[in-house]
Structure 1
Amino acid sequence: MKLLTVSALLCAMIALTTAANEVGKDGSESNPPGEHLVEKRSAFFWRPWGWTRYRNRYYHFFPNQLTWAQAQRHCQSLNANLASVRNLGEYRAIQRVILNGAHNHVPTWIGGSDAQQERYWFWIDGTRFTYANWCHGEPNNVRGRENCLHMNWTGNLCMNDIPCDARYPFVCARKVRRSLE
């Protein structure tokens, strides 16, 4: 009997919620008599909770100390990639995301790598590598092992190549996607 009562209340709640959606703000019906609302859609931009938007991307700082590959795998599990940087404005926006998350400008993985071929840097998301804020003398590929990229290196807060098996926090990025409600 209790299950039947709960089911009836749930159905009533759904019916009332649906009916309330069809009433306009002034109390009148939103659809003229005889017309039925077949599908209600409105375009909006979906923002993942806790992510920061800069232009057409969302960014999120993760304090976990992971290798570059582990960090990328974590980003992919969120339908994202390690962040790519296309210009100084975006670099500074990512620095703000790091500062807000870590309360400091900590060295942080982003999605650059030349592991496929030395001195041919690319972004893991496929974006062309056209901007870099390298520290003086970088990239230097010390001992032939520095194939991954992190930012906020030294007091200059610049980019540095470093071994991919080092462990750092990281920033994931995902494109703003337009959805239908």
Structure 2
Amino acid sequence: MKLLTVSALLCAVIALTTAARQHHVEKRAICCPHGWTKACESVNANLASVRNIRDYYFIRKVIYHATHANGETWIGGSDGQVERYWFWIDGTRFSYTRWCHTQPDNFLGNQNCMTMNWLGQDCWDDQHCGIRHPYVCVKNMLSFLG
């Protein structure tokens, strides 16, 4: 699995603004069925959480630089435990949202996973977890020290 890594200088700046996290984008699309977080966990990371507007636009910029597009991309939001109760897979508080108009809608049921850049738009959508999309992993930089 080939991950694109943000430059060291940029990572240092990100560490100051997003609590010491390193960001990765997977270029090829994967499927996110049962166990959908395992791709990120395999590199000791989580799907990205978005805690504020700075995180949101930074992740969007990383996606664009890695793929040269603003395509739909998995991030770490889910309501798979309790319908309509969205949480970040890394346990951080869900305080910032950027849902597209009429979303989340749980269309046809079981849309428990979150993408950003829905249909190229600057917003989020709930989707069935089995759809193929690129994904963004976030890794705590402190894990590189030990």
TM score, norm. by length of structure 1? 0.68
Q: Report how far residue 174 of structure 1 moved.
A: 1.0
Deviations 1:144-170 (A, max 9, x none): 121100001134321000000111000
Equivalent residue for 2:28? 64
Q: 1:136 and 1:129 mapped to 2: Cα distance? A: 19
Q: Report how far residue 74 of structure 1 moved.
A: 1.2
Q: Is the 8 A contact 2:70 2:120 kept in 1?
A: no
Q: How many residues align?
A: 133
Larger radius of gyration: 1
Query: Which SS does the other structure have where 2:74 is aligned?
Result: strand
Moved over 6 A (4+): none
User: What residue identity is the alignment partner of 1:118?
Assistant: E
Q: 1:116 and 1:163 mapped to 2: Cα distance? A: 14
Structure 1 residues 49 and 134: CA distance shift in structure 2, 3 A: closer
TM score, norm. by length of structure 2? 0.83
Equivalent residue for 1:79? 44
Structure 2 portions without partners, runs of 5+: none
Equivalent residue for 1:7? none
Q: 2:25 and 2:140 mapped to 1: Cα distance? A: 15
Structure 1 residues 49 and 141: CA distance shift in structure 2, 3 A: closer
Equivalent residue for 1:101? 66
Q: 2:115 and 2:39 mapped to 1: Cα distance? A: 16
Q: 1:171 and 1:49 mapped to 2: Cα distance? A: 10
Residue 114 (str. 1) matches residue 79 (str. 2): yes
Query: Which SS does the other structure have where 2:114 is aligned?
Result: strand
Of the candidates 96, 106, 114, which is equivalent to residue 131 of structure 1?
A: 96
| RMSD of equivalent CA atoms | 2.0
Q: Report how far residue 49 of structure 1 moved.
A: 8.0
Deviations 1:102-149 (A, max 9, x none): 011111000000011100001111111111100001000001121100
User: What residue identity is the alignment partner of 1:111?
Assistant: G
